């Protein structure tokens, strides 16, 4: 019988600030930026020509790539992050569990493009007279260069299939595509599978890369991305009055979720407990959040309700939550609406809850964002420190909460960090929140 309690026993990261948890965490606390000019394709003429790229990464440092020769970039990120989490959980040499009781739940998108192929076909269709692309010629050249390998790289469930093969997963396996909320929703739903007794262990999280010409162009056309090409490291400005959009990032975040009794029986040490998950839909517009913030508020309320936490209560004179990892994209609407939702839910306590967004340092990792940001919550609980929101020089009057500007905050002398919320709000009005708490025997 399941214990009804879900714990995190392992975690792994691949981000623009590094390829393993400890080094990424150190750089986040130091307020470093992993955002710079795009190097992967000739993007100098793009309206936005900078992003948070993963640099110097080799998946062969983590797994034998012989079986993953056709893995796309997002799959490569997932393999590295999962190998880290798998090892930390102590599962690499553990053979005492039933593989049919190990599952997968990922938030992973459409895969990464073959950049060299795209650029080559694009150049063959370039008209020097009109300075434009002949899209018919480009499409024809692209089809001629398409291979079976490039097609499999595009499959949204490619990362899922590669991880299942690599780690011997034969239980429930799902791929979630709810845009920027995907990996948060994947972790929440994976936790529910364990609570319901459908699995003992779940690999959960997300991976994504959209730093290619089509991915960047799509968001540029939506006018959702910052255009501060002259200062990339300062372009992402969540909650700042001068913010002008988000910055694209890429990478992966993976956690190992486990039934508490199963973890303890094999001698694993829980890192934190996953105590709450809330999900809602705005039922509004495909790209805009509902201006009243009702959906985000319901998602946060649902996570706290499952965790048996009253958002208006106090804990030894402190608010009921010690830290909120905000969705905090740096777009005008998102930041103001998320602020309003937090204030509506927490009431007077809202101004006393530290909040920050690490997107200002690593960019928006789209479907991987929520998992990476949940791991920052786990690290906040383990270390008692909260990462800052850098570039917050001119606070927006509508965003008037405690966003931990510029410098990380150390709470070890005041009781540390016990409870965290992690918010993710995706295109289409998908809202998801996770609540983690310090593990107590």
pLDDT value at position 70? 83
User: How large a percentage of the chain has pLDDT more than 70?
Assistant: 90
Predicted confidence band of residue 139 (pLDDT cuts 50, 70, 90): low
Once rounded to an integer, what is the mean pLDDT over residues 279-305? Answer: 92
Contact 271, 378 (CB under 8 A): yes
Range with lowest mean pLDDT among 140-149, 161-170, 216-225, 419-428: 140-149
Predicted confidence band of residue 150 (pLDDT cuts 50, 70, 90): low
Max Cα separation, the chain? 71
pLDDT at 130 exceeding the cut of 50: no
Predicted confidence band of residue 131 (pLDDT cuts 50, 70, 90): very low
SS3 175: strand
Say which residues have a Cβ less than 8 Å from residue 369's Cβ, sequence separation at least 6.
180, 183, 206, 249, 327, 359, 424
pLDDT value at position 115? 47
pLDDT at 379 exceeding the cut of 50: yes
pLDDT value at position 285? 82
* CATH code 3.40.47.10 region(s) in the chain: 6-265, 278-437
pLDDT value at position 140? 66
Once rounded to an integer, what is the mean pLDDT over residues 141-148? Answer: 62
Predicted confidence band of residue 128 (pLDDT cuts 50, 70, 90): very low
Q: Which helix (H) or strand (E) holds 419?
A: strand 419-426
Once rounded to an integer, what is the mean pLDDT over residues 79-102? Answer: 91
Nearest in space to 179 (alpha carbons), one of 153, 212, 210, 221: 210
pLDDT value at position 136? 62
Q: How many whole angstroms separate alpha carbon 32 and alpha carbon 29?
A: 8
pLDDT at 149 exceeding the cut of 80: no
Look-up of token digits 């955002």: 35
Nearest in space to 163 (alpha carbons), one of 13, 271, 63: 63
SS3 291: coil
By annotation, the residues acting in catalysis are 180, 327, 364
241 is written with which tokens?
């009055």
Residue 426 gets the label, from left (phi > 0), alpha (psi -120 to 50) or beta, of beta
pLDDT at 141 exceeding the cut of 80: no
pLDDT at 126 exceeding the cut of 90: no
What is the assigned CATH class of domain 278-437? alpha beta
Distance of CA 157 to the CA centre of its chain: 17
Q: Which residue has the higher pLDDT, 200 or 152?
A: 200
6-265: CATH number: 3.40.47.10
pLDDT value at position 330? 97
pLDDT value at position 199? 97
Contact 155, 406 (CB under 8 A): no
Can you list the alpha helix ranges (DSSP code H) found in 275-405? 294-306, 332-346, 359-362, 369-383
pLDDT at 421 exceeding the cut of 50: yes
Q: How many whole angstroms separate alpha carbon 164 and alpha carbon 184?
A: 20
Q: How many whole angstroms separate alpha carbon 393 and alpha carbon 396?
A: 9
Contact 242, 397 (CB under 8 A): no
413 is written with which tokens?
């002398």
217 is written with which tokens?
């162009």
b/e 45-63 (16+ beta carbons within 10 angstroms → b): ebebbbbbbbeebebeebb
Q: How many whole angstroms separate alpha carbon 82 and alpha carbon 380?
A: 21
Predicted confidence band of residue 120 (pLDDT cuts 50, 70, 90): very low
SS3 103: strand
Nearest in space to 218 (alpha carbons), one of 32, 427, 435: 427
* Average pLDDT value for the chain: 91
pLDDT value at position 32? 98
Say which residues have a Cβ less than 8 Å from residue 290's Cβ, sequence separation at least 6.
282, 283, 284, 337, 429
Q: How many whole angstroms separate alpha carbon 67 and alpha carbon 306?
A: 41
Q: How many whole angstroms separate alpha carbon 183 and alpha carbon 434?
A: 11
Say which residues have a Cβ less than 8 Å from residue 146's Cβ, sequence separation at least 6.
none
pLDDT at 116 exceeding the cut of 70: no
Name the pairing type of β-strands 102-108 and 201-208.
parallel
Q: What is the pLDDT of residues 39-80, one digit of tens each?
A: 988 888 899 999 999 999 999 999 999 989 889 899 999 999
Phi, psi angles (nearest 5°) of residue 261: -60, -40
pLDDT value at position 284? 86
Contact 362, 372 (CB under 8 A): yes
Q: What is the pLDDT of residues 335-371, one digit of tens each?
A: 999 999 999 999 999 999 999 999 999 999 999 999 9
pLDDT value at position 113? 56
Contact 185, 176 (CB under 8 A): yes
Range with lowest mean pLDDT among 147-156, 286-295, 378-387: 147-156
pLDDT value at position 98? 85
Phi, psi angles (nearest 5°) of residue 301: -65, -40
pTM, rounded to two decimals = 0.93
Distance of CA 179 to the CA centre of its chain: 10
pLDDT at 204 exceeding the cut of 70: yes
Contact 59, 251 (CB under 8 A): no
Number of H helices, E strands in the chain: 13, 16
Once rounded to an integer, what is the mean pLDDT over residues 162-171? Answer: 95
Once rounded to an integer, what is the mean pLDDT over residues 114-141? Answer: 52
Range with lowest mean pLDDT among 20-34, 192-206, 230-244, 281-295: 281-295
């Amino acid at each position: 019988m399941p214990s009804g309690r879900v714990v995190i026993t392992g975690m792994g990261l691949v981000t623009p600030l590094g390829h393993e948890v400890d080094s990424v965490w150190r750089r986040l606390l130091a307020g470093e930026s992993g955002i710079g000019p795009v190097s992967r394709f000739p993007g100098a003429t793009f309206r936005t020509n900078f992003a948070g790229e993963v640099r110097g990464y080799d998946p062969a440092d983590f797994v034998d790539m012989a079986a993953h020769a056709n893995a796309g970039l997002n799959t490569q990120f997932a393999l590295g992050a999962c190998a880290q989490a798998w090892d930390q959980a102590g599962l690499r040499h553990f053979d005492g569990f039933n593989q049919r009781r190990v599952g997968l739940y990922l938030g992973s998108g459409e895969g990464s493009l073959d950049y060299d192929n795209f650029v080559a076909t694009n150049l063959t269709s370039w008209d020097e007279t009109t300075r434009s692309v002949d899209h018919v010629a480009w499409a024809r050249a692209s089809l001629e260069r398409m291979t079976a390998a490039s097609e499999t790289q595009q499959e949204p469930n490619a990362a899922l299939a590669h991880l299942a093969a690599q780690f011997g997963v034969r239980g429930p396996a799902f791929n979630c595509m709810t845009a920027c909320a995907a990996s948060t929703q994947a972790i929440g739903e994976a936790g529910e599978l364990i609570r319901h007794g459908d699995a003992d262990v779940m690999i959960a999280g997300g991976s994504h890369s959209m730093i290619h010409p089509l991915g960047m162009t799509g968001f540029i056309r939506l006018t959702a991305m910052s255009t501060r090409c002259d200062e990339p490291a300062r372009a992402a400005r969540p909650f700042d009055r001068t913010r002008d959009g988000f910055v694209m990032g890429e990478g992966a975040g993976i956690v190992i979720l486990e039934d508490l009794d199963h973890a303890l029986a094999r001698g694993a040490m829980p890192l934190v407990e996953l105590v709450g998950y809330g999900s809602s839909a705005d039922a509004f517009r495909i790209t805009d959040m509902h201006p009243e913030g009702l959906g985000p508020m319901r998602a946060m309320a649902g996570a706290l309700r499952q965790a048996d936490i009253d958002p208006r209560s106090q804990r030894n004179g402190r608010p009921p939550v010690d830290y909120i990892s905000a969705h905090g994209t740096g777009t005008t609407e998102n930041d103001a609406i998320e602020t309003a939702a937090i204030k509506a839910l927490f009431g007077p306590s809202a101004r006393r809850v530290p909040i920050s967004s690490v997107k200002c340092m690593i960019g928006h990792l789209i479907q991987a964002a929520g998992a990476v940001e949940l791991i920052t919550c786990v690290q906040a609980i383990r270390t008692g420190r909260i990462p800052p929101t850098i570039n917050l020089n001119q606070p927006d009057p509508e965003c008037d909460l405690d966003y931990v500007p510029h410098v990380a905050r150390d709470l070890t002398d005041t009781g540390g960090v016990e409870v965290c919320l992690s918010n993710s709000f995706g295109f289409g009005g998908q809202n998801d929140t996770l609540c983690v708490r310090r593990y107590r025997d």
